[in-house]
A = this chain, B = another copy of it.
Amino acid sequence: METMVNNISVEKATTSKINEVDFDNLSFGSVYTDHMLVCDYVNGAWQSPKVVPYQPISLDPSAKIFHYGQSIFEGMKAYKDESGKTWLFRPLENHKRLNKSAQRLAIPELPESHFMDGLTTLLQVEQDWIPQNPGSSLYIRPFMLASGKGFHASPADEYKFIIACAPSGAYFSGKVKVLIEEKYSRAANGGVGYAKAGGNYAGQFYPTQLAIEKGYHQVIWTDDNTHEYIEEAGAMNIFVRINDTLITGPTSDRILDGITRKSILQIAENQGIATEVRKISVSEVVAAAKNGSLKEMFGAGTAAVVSPIAAFGYKDTDYELPELENSYASQLKKYITDVQYNRSEDKFGWRYPV
């Protein structure tokens, strides 16, 4: 049965899976809610988004997503505060970045109203799915794929924009050990590294598997030309604290313009933490680890929030990071999650009510 909510057509699922879900033991992104948002690009225009029961996507075998990798995504979360009210964190930034990715992948840009009205309507329908347990949230995955057909290597003429949701716990459990990569690369100058393009992720899996076999959790990518400069960790931007200065690499056409990354920079500056946005060489980090001035390293991203790094490996040597009381990572994580869960003042206007 179809109804209209906020001018968006909503077809409700006949049964709900919610009672099968153990909200006290959520993994990351492996259980999906009862509905999804679907919006089609056909005849040269994005059509009206619709909320429909969560269901398989059926595509012709010649759909260009299967052959030419025309796909992009975003990662977001919905947070429930103690009163049961739902909040998003800087969602307009996700919409802007989605369109930046779309442009680079030759996918038609999506109007802001399709994104925001579709998203908020979906979240209203799925409000019972948004966890209230500490550390849990509803992970939101907006994505676009080329559904148009043809074996000619050229942009598709039809696309799908979909939002699916998964109540989720932590992305990483425990402290993370990373390997600074010396051989493989994530992104080329003039390439698509700054876009949240599907192909950027698949290319990381094999080198990451090799790192996992050596006992690491994640790879820290370096520039493809010299492997001398730290770029990002694939699912996270990277911050380094040397003495009391917090340093992160500049965004570029190789590095994702992370929303958590830029929020952290703003919080740090506001809190009186010295920050530098500049290239970070591997040799600088190794030297700092050796002389004790390297206090912290952490990853920052929507899924992982702020993820402290316990040790890094480079050229067959492991370097342990100290365990600090009141680390920048813990301060910044607290600040950002307090805003997200509506536990503190929203000085920067980042919270968005659903």
Contacts and interface: CB of A to CB of B under 8 A. Distances in A.
Contact of A150 (B30, B146, B190, B206): B30
Interface string A54-98: 111111111101111111010100000000000000000000000
B209 A191 contact: no
Interface string A142-176: 01011001111111000000101010100100000
Contacts of A63: 57
A154 B217 CA distance: 11
Contact of A153 (B32, B146, B235): B235
A196 B144 CA distance: 21
B68 A61 contact: no
A225 B189 contact: yes
Nearest to A73: B67
A60 B46 CA distance: 22
A57 B141 CA distance: 21
Contacts of A55: 61
Nearest to A70: B202
Given A57-B59, A62-B29, A69 B188 contact: no
Which 5 A-B pairs have CB atoms at the shortest separation, nearest pair first? A199-B199, A29-B151, A69-B198, A188-B188, A106-B205
Given A65-B71, A105-B206, 14 more contacts: A32-B61, A54-B61, A66-B145, A68-B198, A69-B203, A139-B151, A141-B151, A151-B166, A153-B235, A186-B188, A188-B188, A197-B199, A197-B202, A198-B199
